[in-house]
Homo-oligomer: A and B are copies of this chain.
Amino acid sequence: MTATPGFGNNLVYLSALIQRRFTQVCADHDLTNAQAQLLCLVKDRPHGMSELGRLLGLAKPGMTGLVDRTERRGLVQRGSSEHDRRACTVSSTPLGKRIGDALYADVAARLPDIADHLPPADRQLLEELVAAVIATTSGPCRADDLPER
């Protein structure tokens, strides 16, 4: 039971606000949301395709397409795995690393805008609570892995 009426729907609304702001920041770096999130994941170290699919909530064909498009733009590259010749890793190119770092910094600078109208104390609380929700929630995963109703 939730005390605040409409909390669930408020979350969806809040998510739309964040998403729209994020899309705008991505566009300023000439990135789509999906390519931006991929880049942020691989900019510091390579990841396997399956791992990325799990983190991004994408099935295998979705990952293939996303990496295809991002690789075509010269931002990431596929490499072969050490121990499994079926697998491949995705890492950032120098250009991708630069753009990924710039995007990450810009997100940190501009996304907090959405809480600008809160009093400082409330905003501080919100920052802590958001961090707590993220910390206590198992990371993004396939929709299939989330609990049923």
Contact = CB atoms under 8 A, between A and B. Distances in A.
Interface of A: 2-4, 6-24, 27-28, 37, 40, 57, 104, 106-115, 117-118, 122, 124-134, 136-137, 140, 143, 146-147, 149
Given A3-B127, A21-B146, A111 B16 contact: no
Given A7-B127, A9-B104, A129-B118, A143 B18 contact: no
Contacts of A107: 8-9, 12
Nearest to A15: B18
Nearest to A57: B20
Given A15-B18, A22-B12, A133 B114 contact: yes
Nearest to A108: B8
